[in-house]
Amino acid sequence: MDEKILVECKKLQKFFNTPRGLLHAVDDVSFKIPREKTLGVVGESGCGKSTLGRTILNLLKATSGEVLFDGVNIAGKSDKEMLPYRAKMQMIFQDPYSSIDPRMTISQIIEEPFVINKVLKQRKERQDRVRELMEIVGLDAFYVNAYPHELDGGRRQRIGVARALALNPEFIVCDEPVSALDVSIQAQILNLLMDLKDERKLTYMFITHDLSVVKHISNNILVLYLGKMVEMAPSDLIFDNPVHPYTKALFSAIPIPDIAYRHKELQVIKGEVTSPINPPDGCRFAPRCPFVKDGCGQAAPEFRETEPGHFVACHLYN
């Protein structure tokens, strides 16, 4: 590939110790995100998507594996060593209600990155920049001295975006940035994120459980199930031809707002996500899989290429 890779994960693992055993939140995840592309990470609650995002940014220390940012391994770097990288990699959080400090004004929140990174030492400079950022994300300058509780969810999420943009990052992890918002506001924020990506040549990792959003915004899509990579492919390919039984089930469970699909029975997969604590060997989807066969429970399936660019981990295709 001649595309320049900005972020690369190699066999990344993040385990948590719990009283009941080792929780495999992210298990052996490898992928590359080329510059100016978006990787959509999809999965249900508990599949490790948010942990993956945080581990990549080194907000959580990886148990093993590497995260290469522009060729440099940042996994395991100390907070101090991370400082120059933090400016280049930012995060937009899911919940606009709890991810900003209620006791800081909007301008304090947006200017905090400048203070921490000791750029723009003059107060005046910082304030100009804050106003500029607010304009970029579509927040009226009127709110510059307001507190977060005065704003609604959509505007708060714009603050989150402005704060993430403050230091001109190259890479942003968006962790469910629109799932707490109403559809009409959700569309406004999605448009904003896409415009910013084009204008500022950003690279995104977009974490979501909403498949229609992910298709809309991503170049590549990675499906996770219980910390494991299940399927990865370019967006169109995976939607036209999902291969893994879990991906198929996930896609067919989406209700489509079109009455032409009314009589499509939602394909229901049985059971629920099993525990990620001390997971058994073998395919983690096996207990719910409609196509389970002998051997699925014994060995973990390999992650293989079934067609160019399309990877899947399933014994049916090995």
Question: Under the rule (CB under 8 A), what is the footprint of another protein?
Answer: 44-45, 152, 154, 182-188, 190-191, 194, 209, 211-213, 215-217, 235-236, 239, 249-250, 252-259, 261-262, 264-270, 272-273
| Least distance in angstroms from the C-beta of 291 to another protein | 16
Residue number, 108 or 188, with CB nearest to another protein: 188
- Measured distance between the N- and C-terminal CA atoms of the chain, rounded to whole angstroms: 25
| Least distance in angstroms from the C-beta of 224 to another protein | 13
Residue number, 90 or 186, with CB nearest to another protein: 186
Residue number, 234 or 282, with CB nearest to another protein: 234
Residue number, 79 or 265, with CB nearest to another protein: 265
| Least distance in angstroms from the C-beta of 143 to another protein | 13
| Least distance in angstroms from the C-beta of 114 to another protein | 29
| Residue recorded with tokens 């996930």 | 250
Residue number, 31 or 225, with CB nearest to another protein: 225
| Least distance in angstroms from the C-beta of 159 to another protein | 15
Residue number, 65 or 276, with CB nearest to another protein: 276
| Token pair of 183 as six digits | 């559809």
| Least distance in angstroms from the C-beta of 242 to another protein | 12
